[in-house]
Amino acid sequence: MDQGRLMPALPRVLGLAAALVATLTLAACDESPEEAAEDVVDERGFFTVHPETGATMSAIPQDGLPDTVMVSGEELAGPLPLGFTLHEGAKVLDSTFVSRGEKQSALVIFESAAAPEELAEFYRGQAASAGIKTEVTLDGDAGRLVAGREGTARFSLNAAREGDVTAAQLMISDGLD
């Protein structure tokens, strides 16, 4: 699957993810930073790579604010923000969770047998349950984009079909800009 062609917004979304999600992600990691294979620890925070999975975790302290914590890997590092869940049968290819205190965001790149329209409908429903109004729906030959926000909560789904697989990226933020 040519993900570069299917998901042209990926660099923008990854940029947003780097600025985002998950208070519980630090606790969700299997190993502490001291047990991981590659650690970088100094007064600016730490960065570590899990020796077996390649998952990464970093934390950056900020004066007067809770630490910003980021966890990335091929599995979800914790529950998705705002009560969102993965569509049944979705296979996670990559995920990034970022948190700062109670604020959190997640970027999940996945594939599914479901059509883009089915995924869009599913995530519109999840957004409505979280109190988020869908403000944008774009349909094209390459796929579907849905997005919305309410207050500081935001979500977007970009899904495109190739053969019998849909490649998708889901971004959810609960107040972390």
Proportion of the chain in helix, strand, coil states, percent, rounded to 5: 20, 45, 30
Write the CA distances from 94 to 57, 64, 91, 110, integer angstroms. 14, 31, 9, 7
Q: Residue 80 — pLDDT band, cuts 50, 70, 90?
A: very high
Spatial distance between the Cα atoms of 121 and 56, rounded to a whole number of angstroms: 32
Dihedral angle sign, alpha carbons of residues 100, 23, 68, 54: negative
Whether the per-residue pLDDT at 56 is higher than 60: the answer is yes
Q: Residue 107's closest CA among 137, 72, 82?
A: 72
Query: How is the chain split into domains, by residue range?
Result: 3-174
Look over the chain and give the mean of its residue pLDDT values, rounded to a whole number.
79
More confident residue, 17 or 66: 66
Q: Residue 140 — pLDDT band, cuts 50, 70, 90?
A: confident
pLDDT tens-place string over residues 115-130:
999 999 999 999 999 9
Question: Please, what's the largest Cα pairwise distance for the chain?
Answer: 50
Mean pLDDT of 10-14: 33
pTM of the model: 0.73
Q: According to the model, what pLDDT value does residue 141 have?
A: 81
Q: According to the model, what pLDDT value does residue 129 have?
A: 96
Helices (H) and strands (E) in the chain, counts: 4, 10
Spatial distance between the Cα atoms of 156 and 96, rounded to a whole number of angstroms: 15
